Structures are given as structure tokens and as C-alpha cells.
Amino acid sequence: MNLLQKSIISYSSYYIKKQLEKKFILKNDVMIEKQASKDTMLYIHIPFCHTFCTYCSFHKFAYEESKCKQYFKILRKELELLHSLGYSFNTLYVGGGTTLINEEELLITLQLCKKLFPIKEISCESDPNHIDENKLQMFKGYIDRLSCGVQSFNDDILEKTSRLAKFGNSKQLIKKLEKAIGILPTFSIDLIFNFPFENEEILLNNINIAKSLNPEQITFYPLMKSNITKKAIAAKFGQGAKDNEYLFYKIICDEFSDYKQNNAWSFSKNKNSFNDEYVSTHHEYIGAGSGAFSFQNNKLLINAFCLDEYEKLINTKQNANISYIDFTNEDVIDYVFLSEFFSGSVDINKLNKAYNCDIIKHLGINYKALEFLNITNTKNNIINTTFFARYLALVLMKEFYINMDKLREHFKKAINQ
Ligand SMILES: C[S@@+](CC[C@H](N)C(=O)[O-])C[C@H]1O[C@@H](n2cnc3c(N)ncnc32)[C@H](O)[C@@H]1O
Ligand code: SF4
């Protein structure tokens, strides 16, 4: 990167951080509005894992079968409540934690979702211990896309992320993946790049193994270090002297030039809008489950993080929201622009029509700078992205997620987690 590019990246990261800090004003008088929108997506959170990984800030608890079964029971109650409020969803994204941690309970829940809502697509996340062929067969006709966290095929990194003992070494992971890929329509391998001290050799080895396994999708997340995880990452890895994010991203994009890019960090054999970034493909979504976020009508709503509170709220108030943040129309347009930019191009007319705005005017000097510096180029009312623009989008989305972790941090502290 040259000096100008470095300045653009630093300025943009700082800008989004400050913007989000200003917006995060939590309000507690929660009321969910009934709104049966056709294109709304349903997100379900399964907050359980057997053990925890060094870098992971997602909302989760240690798995206990009885706790998990009770959780699924309450979750299904919440889904029935959403249905009775008039909600209708065509897409379901199940995230975690480990969504397949109790396959039987998950299957009953997916069956209920299909009965209640006209759901056409279901995506789930798993770890490598829950992709057993026989278990996956149970989900045929239910799960359309399964992403499996692998993170790295390097045993040293697996050990430092606390995943080696839990999920096996590189050879064992490859064996598990070989058996699982192909059972469900789309299988995605999730990897993380830019761990401290990761070198080009490790990165290229990860790319080559992932490609040779031939899944439909491969997602390469840049390592995100938020307040919740940065100490643990530094304790296990130490502080890398050099940040290789840009260099490694360039290598990844070059190595995946024969793939379609779904967004800044996801690659498919065929272009697929159904990827891990539900936030970027669906601008409005409703979250069910403990710690789930919903975004609708300019509001980010937050469900109770504490499992007992979640259960109590569903049973007494029939609504698990404990807090919300208000956003202005301008904020929503910024957010929609970021997610479209992250997906690779922005259709000006479509965005103007959907949000009754003039996006070019809205972006003002930022748009002029992007075009003047040849970071984007607009043709036929489509803002097209260059390689550097995609890297910029990756940095901005990473910053967005790191800042979302500040909310998780706040609610985790509130329940002494
Ligand atoms: C919510 S996790 C669930 C995956 C599953 N439980 C597992 O561990 O295999 C989904 C994916 O997000 C990515 N992820 C989680 N924390 C991350 C971080 N700090 N930086 C980059 N990617 C991260 C990982 O690739 C992970 O597989
Ligand atoms: S990465 Fe997956 S298994 Fe590890 S703690 Fe996070 S959700 Fe759990």
C-alpha cells in the first residue's frame, strides 16, 4: 500500500468507529412493532459451545444438555409468538455458538420454522465436530447452506486458537470435511487470515487445501480483534511485528480469481447471495433467541443475553427485547451503502428508489474522493469497485463488526460473563 492508500484506510476506520460510537445510545423502554414485511429475514441464535476459542466474541455459554433443551423449548415459543404477531420470513439464518450442537432439537426447530413461515432458504453454522455424515443426512431438505468453521489447516494456529484438542489436527479436519462436503446443497469452509506470525506459506497452504476439498464456498475472514478478545489473542499468539492483512488479502483475491466473489471476503464457485453476511444481504432482519439482534424500522433491538431473563421475558411479556438503539434515515442509508459496497457494487437507482434518497448527494465529498482517486468507477448508474475498494470494504465491515462487539461487551458485563 502506498502512503495515500494507508491514509484512506486509517481515516475510514476512524470515521466508522466514531460514527458508530455516536450512535450507540441504548434505550430500555422496549416495544416491538408488528410488521409483516415479505423480505424480512429471520435470524436464530444458538448460544452454546463445548469449549471456547481464543478469538471468538460471539454470545455463547458452555454446553449442558438440559440447559440447551430448555433453551430450544423457549426459542420455539418465541417463534410461535413472532408468527402470531404477523411476521413472515422467507430466509432463515441460524448462527451461534454451534448451531448443530444438539441436532435433534435443531431439527424440531427448523421443522417448526418451515411450518410457521414460507421459508425458502436455511443457512446454519457448525464446528467440525458436528458435520458427521449420518447426522447431516437428517437435515436434507432443511439446511440449504452449511458453513463449517475450520479457521486454519495449520496445527500451531489450531493449538493457539484452542481448537486442536477439540476438533483435531489438520489431517483429521481434512478427513471430516471430505466426508461432509456434498451432503447438503451448499457447503462453506470458514477460514481466518492474518493471525499474528502467520506467514505466506501458511496462508497459501490454507488456500490450497480449502480449494482442493472443493466446497461450493470458501470464506476468508480477516482476524477481528475486539475488546472482548484482544487480550486472549495477544496472550496466545504474542504481538506480531507486522500486519499482513493487505498483503494476504491480495494473495487471497489472486488465488481465488477463478471463483466468483460474493462479497469482500466470500468466494464461490457460482455467484451466491446466500453467504454468512446476512447483515449485508438483508437490510432488515428479526432475531430470535438469547443475545440476538433485530434491525427493523430504523431500530436495532437487542434480546436478553441472560438465559433466565430470556426465558422469563418470553413467558411473561412475550417479548425478549431488553434494549434498543434508534437510527436516523441518514444512518440507515449509510449502513445500506456500506453493505452494498461490501457486496462489490452499488446500484444507484435501486438504492435511491428503495430509500427515497439521492445517494450521491448523501455521500457528498466521500463519493467524489472515491471516484477521483479511481477507487470506484461509476458506469450506467452502478458504482463499481476496484481491488482497493474491496479491501477498503473489508476493513470497514471488520470495523463495523468490532464495534458491534462493544454492544456484546456491554451486555456480557451486565450478566457478569
Ligand atoms: C460464529 S462462528 C461459529 C462457527 C462454529 N461454532 C465453529 O467454531 O466452527 C462463525 C465464524 O465466524 C468467524 N469468526 C469468529 N470470530 C472471528 C474473529 N474474531 N475474527 C474473524 N473471524 C471470526 C469464524 O470463521 C467462525 O467459523
Ligand atoms: S468459534 Fe465457534 S466453537 Fe469457537 S467459541 Fe466461537 S462459536 Fe464456539
CATH number at residue 213: 3.20.20.70
- Dist CA 17 CA 112 (whole Å): 39
Is position 221 within any domain? yes
Mean of the per-residue pLDDT values for the chain? 90
Pocket test of ligand 2: the residue of 60, 94, 226 to mutate, having most ligand atoms within 8 Å of its CB, is 60
Which residue reads 404477531 in cell numbers?
Answer: 85
Percent pLDDT > 90 in the chain is: 69
Q: Give the pLDDT confidence score for residue 271 in this predicted structure.
A: 58
pLDDT tens-digit profile of 207-251? 999 999 999 999 999 999 988 899 999 999 987 778 899 999 999
Is position 339 within any domain? no
Work out the average pLDDT over 51-74.
Answer: 95
Is position 54 within any domain? yes
The band of 32, judged by pLDDT with boundaries at 50, 70 and 90, is low
**Who wins on pLDDT, 404 or 267?**
267
pLDDT tens-digit profile of 301-345? 999 999 999 999 999 978 899 988 888 888 889 888 998 999 999
Is position 252 within any domain? yes
Is position 372 within any domain? no
Q: Give the pLDDT confidence score for residue 272 in this predicted structure.
A: 59
- Dist CA 198 CA 200 (whole Å): 7
| Residue 49 near ligand 2, beta carbon < 6 Å | yes
Percent pLDDT > 70 in the chain is: 94
Q: How far is the CA of 404 from the centre of ligand 1 (A)?
A: 15
Q: Give the pLDDT confidence score for residue 380 in this predicted structure.
A: 94
Is position 386 within any domain? no
Q: Give the pLDDT confidence score for residue 219 in this predicted structure.
A: 96
Work out the average pLDDT over 252-270.
Answer: 92
Question: Does pLDDT of 138 surpass 70?
Answer: yes
Sequence-separated (6 or more) residues with CB below 8 Å from residue 44: 75, 79, 92, 93, 94, 95, 99, 109, 113, 287, 288, 289, 292
- Dist CA 207 CA 222 (whole Å): 14
Atom of ligand 1 nearest to the CA of 151: 25
The band of 190, judged by pLDDT with boundaries at 50, 70 and 90, is very high
Q: Give the pLDDT confidence score for residue 4 in this predicted structure.
A: 85
Question: Does pLDDT of 280 surpass 80?
Answer: no
The band of 86, judged by pLDDT with boundaries at 50, 70 and 90, is confident
Which residue range is the domain that position 209 belongs to?
Answer: 41-280
Question: Does pLDDT of 39 surpass 70?
Answer: no
Is position 265 within any domain? yes
Question: Does pLDDT of 9 surpass 90?
Answer: no
CB atoms within 10 A of CB 371: 14
Q: Give the pLDDT confidence score for residue 390 in this predicted structure.
A: 95
Question: Does pLDDT of 276 surpass 70?
Answer: no
> Is 246 strand, coil or helix?
helix
Give me 30's grid cell: 422496549
Is position 142 within any domain? yes
Q: How far is the CA of 352 from the centre of ligand 2 (A)?
A: 39
Atom of ligand 1 nearest to the CA of 148: 9
Q: Identify each DSSP E strand in 81-185 by its residue range.
A: 91-96, 121-126, 145-151
Q: Pocket residues for ligand 1 (CB within 6 Å)?
A: 55-56, 58, 95-96, 98, 125, 127, 149, 151, 190, 192, 221, 223-224, 229
> Is 122 strand, coil or helix?
strand
Q: Which of 202-216, 258-272, 365-379 is predicted most confidently?
A: 202-216
Structural domain count, the chain: 1
